A and B are shown apart, each in its own frame.
Chain A
Amino acid sequence: MSAAETSARVSAAGLRAQERAAKKAERERQRRIERDEAAERRRAAKAGFANVNNPRRSMLMTVLCAVFAVYCLFPFVYLLINATKTQADFTSTFGLGFGKSFALWDNIVTVFTYQEGIFGRWLINTLLYVVVGAGGATLLAIMGGYALAKFRFPGRKAVFAVIIGSISVPGIALAVPQFLLFAKLGLTNTPWAMIIPSLISPFGLYLMWIFSEQAVPTELLEAARVDGASEWRTFWTISMPLLAPGIVTTALFTIVATWNNYFLPLIMLKDSNWYPLTIGLNQWKDQASTAGGQAIQNLVITGSLITIIPLVIAFLMLQKYWQSGLAAGAVKE
């Protein structure tokens, strides 16, 4: 017993010595690497090859990309400028120049009061569809993606195949029978016709699946189960916080899809009181081309501006989240 103890102590001392030697070697290796790197940087600077971590910026490339950025941004500028014009100025002055009067505030007021303030109604409808439809879609995608990533349940492969297949089914193949079915159930012309189809987001499910696979360690789930937590509790208290960046990304994409949806409300809703903004704006635009209709392009433009502002702000504010969320989605090899 004591002999074994001694030998253990000796070997422990030996181990410590070995450890010290290893640490010393490691420090020396680090120093060597640093020297090499410094030499490499000097060589690279002389040879003119840019270091990947600190590249030399290229003016030519910046200018080329700036051309493309102008292409991407100028419609926003056009919208902003023309939202400040009266109808008369819109048809008579240069598109990218300001009009004779600055009518932005008047336009905004008119947008919200025209036709007894129906624009406000459309805005509230859109918010309702986004909160319930896109919110629900996000929740279903989180749960479904989590299940696909963390459980090996019967039928998992079939779910995968069906979803892949469904992505390539054209919207119209669904829209006509969806409309006929919803009509039979008496759901057309109600908010449900807009909300229920919005609840499914195959792209969101895919994103959450990939994200859950990476962000939630299986060991953590096992630990929670050993401690006696139910599957639901594990999901809400352990997995949800880890999934946050993926959730923000999925939510943003489902919100955009619902906010911008044109086809679904076009077929499902006939009552203008249930219109979302997109259909309402299109109706206002068409007023100019109907016989005897008053052209209200200034209101269409100002209304468009009001429609896109919330989404643009959301994307700008949440940049950090959706970019890291998407990057994680792309990691999968």
Chain B
Amino acid sequence: MASADVAATSVKTDGARVNKHKADWRGWKFMWPFAVVFVFVFIIPIVYAVYISFFKKQMIGGTRFVGVENYARLLQDGQFWSSVGRVALFTVVQVPIMLFLAAAMALAIDSMKLHGTKFFRISTFLPYAVPAVVSTLIWGFVYGAKYGLVGSLNGFLGTDIDMFDPSVLLASIGNINTWEFTGYNMLIFYSSLSTIPHSLYEAASIDGASEWQIVKSIKLPELRGSLAITVIFSIIGSFQLFNEPSILQSMVPGNAITTYYTPNMYAYNLSFSGNQSNYAAALAIVMAVITMAIAYAVQLRSMKEQMR
């Protein structure tokens, strides 16, 4: 028995030693399908985008190498920068509201002090299952001043609220996004809260900690890790704003949602109706760089730590 144990241990150490010195390629047996498709749909398109951003299509003479001309033009492009400003404003206002609501909801559900915890958990999350097209449609109908709920409200109160007015349009879109994604973020927060062992709370309460102190010293620090992930995903998401404004475009009277309302819409319209794919590629790359810089600046570092 003892000798068998010894043999097993020595085999194990042998194995470990071998692993340390010889490359272990077995993992690629499982990794390669993902890697191959990933290269095809992520890496090659990115490289290709960088490549074509240095060219320009011309009426005469076909496509020509123009160096950084597209980028220089982009720096001067007022429409582009106004769209960047719009999504930046959107991010600064909408993301904190949404994440605050999500965190508050997660803390409330995790506190087990609600009647019907399960109901709240599922009903808050349910909007995530709704496609952007459908949620924008519903809210668009609700906002409608002619026969929507807002219209009925105006008739009832004698007010003149117009959710499609250019001055509040961005807030109306923000409301749609908040409705769609608060539950999703709540669930991420809630998942990390639910991993705290309950014995910790018991110990804290025996030591005389109040519930606020438990929230402040145990729960909030735990939320910080998942906050990094939600902040980054939310920033990336709102810088890519496209679905909601582009679906609302035909429901909003007049020309309130322009073809350059967000950077993504601008790039889409440039390449698919403006036939300027090269310029659109340059725009996309600049947006990617801006988004990545912001994501890094905000919290990517702490997310990396989380993922180790």
Binding site for B on A (CB under 8 A): 40, 44, 49-53, 55-59, 61-62, 64-66, 68-69, 71-73, 75-76, 78-79, 82, 90-92, 94-96, 139-141, 143-144, 146-148, 150-156, 159-160, 162-181, 196-197, 199-200, 205-206, 231-232, 235, 256, 259-260, 262-263, 267, 277-279, 281-282, 285-286, 289, 297, 300-301, 304, 307-308, 311-312, 314-316, 319, 323, 326-327, 329-333
Name the residue among B31, B42, B44, B120 with the largest chain A CB count within 10 angstroms.
Answer: B31
Q: Are A176 and B292 in contact (CB under 8 A)?
A: no
Asked if B34 contacts A143 (CB within 8 A), the reply is yes
Q: Does residue B130 face the partner (Cβ distance < 8 Å to A)?
A: yes
A173-B288 in contact given A40-B206, A91-B147, A95-B148 (Cβ < 8 Å): yes
Closest 7 pairs between A and B when the two form their complex, measured CB to CB = A151-B27, A153-B27, A144-B34, A260-B131, A147-B30, A173-B284, A330-B191
Q: Is A55 a contact of B112 with CB atoms below 8 Å? A: yes
The dominant DSSP class at the B interface is helix
B135 at the interface (CB under 8 A from A): yes
Given the interface pairs A52-B202, A297-B141, A315-B126, the reply to whether A147 lies near B41 with Cβ below 8 Å is no
Our pick among A141, A151, A297 for the contact of B24 (Cβ within 8 Å) is A151
What are 14 pairs between A and B in contact, CB < 8 Å? A52-B201, A62-B114, A75-B130, A146-B30, A152-B27, A164-B307, A172-B240, A172-B287, A174-B49, A176-B267, A205-B34, A267-B272, A278-B132, A315-B129
B33 located at the interface, meaning its Cβ lies under 8 Å from any Cβ of chain A in the complex? yes
Name the A residues within 8 Å of B129 (CB-CB).
256, 308, 311-312, 314-315
- Shortest distance from the beta carbon of A305 to any chain B beta carbon, whole Å: 9
User: A155: nearest residue on chain B (CB-CB)?
Assistant: B28
Cβ–Cβ contact B264 & A172, under 8 A: yes
**B133 on the A face (CB < 8 A):** yes
Question: Provided the pairs A72-B124, A170-B240, A285-B137 are in contact, do residues A178 and B41 lie with their beta carbons within 8 angstroms?
Answer: yes
A159 in contact with B37 given A44-B205, A170-B287, A174-B42 (CB within 8 Å)? no
Question: Residues of B contacting A169 with CB < 8 Å?
Answer: 42, 46, 288, 291-292
B45 contacts A307, C-beta separation under 8 Å: no
Which chain B residue shows the least CB distance to A230?
B29
CA gap between A40 and B123 in the complex, in Å: 36
Known contacts A65-B120, A69-B124; is-contact A282 B247 (Cβ 8 Å)? yes
Interface size class of B (residues with CB under 8 A): 35 or more
Expressed in whole angstroms, the Cα–Cα distance for A210 and B215 within the complex equals 26
Query: CB-CB < 8 A to B52: which residues of A?
Result: 177, 180
- B105's nearest neighbour on chain A, judged by CB, is A68
Indicate if the CB atoms of A308 and B31 lie closer than 8 Å. no
Given contacts A151-B24, A231-B26, contact A278 B133 (CB under 8 A): yes
Q: Is A72 touching B123 in the complex (CB atoms < 8 A)?
A: yes
Using A168-B295, A177-B49, A181-B44 as known contacts, list a sample of 20 further A-B pairs with CB atoms less than 8 Å apart, ordered by residue number in A.
A58-B113, A65-B120, A72-B179, A75-B179, A139-B33, A147-B28, A151-B24, A167-B232, A168-B288, A168-B291, A175-B268, A180-B48, A200-B38, A206-B307, A231-B30, A263-B243, A285-B251, A297-B141, A312-B129, A332-B306
**Whole-angstrom CA separation of A307 from B109 in the bound complex:** 29
Distance in angstroms from B126 CB to nearest chain A CB is 6
Max count, chain A CB within 10 A of own CB: residue among B114, B126, B131, B240: B131
CA distance A150 to B77 in the complex (A): 49
Q: Does B149 contact A (CB under 8 A)?
A: yes
- Name the CB-closest residue of A to B189: A330
Contact A316 B122 (CB under 8 A): yes
C-alpha spacing A311/B126, complex, angstroms: 9
**B138 touches A (CB below 8 Å):** yes
Q: Is the CB of B304 within 8 A of A164?
A: yes
B211-A171 in contact (CB<8A): no
Tell whether, in the assembled complex, residue A262 and residue B243 are in contact, meaning their CB atoms are under 8 Å apart.
Answer: yes
Distance to closest chain A CB from B62 (angstroms): 15
Q: Which residue of B lies closest to A76 (CB)?
A: B126
Q: Which of B156-205 contact A (CB under 8 A)?
A: 179, 182-183, 187-188, 191-192, 194-195, 198, 201-202, 205
Q: Give the distance in Å from the alpha carbon of A109 to the alpha carbon of B179 in the complex.
A: 30
**Which residue of A has the minimal Cβ distance to B114?**
A62
Q: What residues on B are CB-neighbors of A316 within 8 Å?
A: 122
Tell yes or no: B300 within 8 A of A by CB.
Answer: yes
* Interchain CB contact (< 8 A) of B187 among A164, A312, A326: A326
- Once the chains are docked, how many angstroms separate the CA of A332 from the CA of B229? 13
Residues of B within 8 A of A165 (CB): 292
Among residues of A, the one whose C-beta sits closest to the C-beta of B266 is A172
Q: Is B31's CB under 8 angstroms from A147's CB?
A: yes
Interface 1/0 per residue, B199-231 and A, CB below 8 Å: 001100110001100000000000001100000
